[in-house]
Amino acid sequence: MKQEIAFFEKQQIEALPSKMAEYFTHIADGSGEKTGQMISTIGATCSGIIIGLAICPYYALCLLVYLPFASILMQVLKGIMIRGVMQKFGMNAKLGGFTEEMLSSLKLIISFGKEDKKLKEYEEMAT
């Protein structure tokens, strides 16, 4: 609600319902899984370090040296994945808005005989 007016001028009104539905679905799917995955990962990491230090402490310490580098690499890969997902969301919102607009004006388009042109336009946007 605290966005500048320019933000709302750039948004496509017809894409808003499909964008909101997609975001809500992904939030509902992801929110329940994240906590369980995080607890499982922390538990597995801690138990692996304890078992490794108990069985072969020198080897475990050598492997712990690489832990910060692996963490940084995982953060970089997570950032790349999030950017890709956000681009996908943007494209799906555009396609959803275009589809809703075309379905709402389908009668008018068919009456003028330009459905082939609009189908080509949709295919170009989808690729």
Each of the 127 residues of the chain gets a pLDDT tens digit; together they read: 455 656 555 666 666 666 677 777 766 666 666 777 778 888 888 888 888 889 988 888 888 888 889 889 988 998 888 888 778 777 777 777 777 777 667 666 665 666 777 778 888 887 7
SS (H, E, C) 84-125: HHHHHHHHHHHHHHHHHHHHHCHHHHHHHCCHHHHHHHHHHH
Give the pLDDT confidence score for residue 126 in this predicted structure: 79
Structural contact between residues 52 and 60, judged by C-beta atoms closer than 8 angstroms:
yes
79: number of Cβ within 10 Å:
10
Give the pLDDT confidence score for residue 38 in this predicted structure: 79
Give the pLDDT confidence score for residue 73 in this predicted structure: 92
49: number of Cβ within 10 Å:
15
Give the pLDDT confidence score for residue 85 in this predicted structure: 79
Q: What is the pTM of this model?
A: 0.46
Give the pLDDT confidence score for residue 15 in this predicted structure: 64
Give the pLDDT confidence score for residue 13 in this predicted structure: 61
Give the pLDDT confidence score for residue 76 in this predicted structure: 92
Contacts of 122 (CB under 8 A, 6+ apart): 95, 98, 99, 102
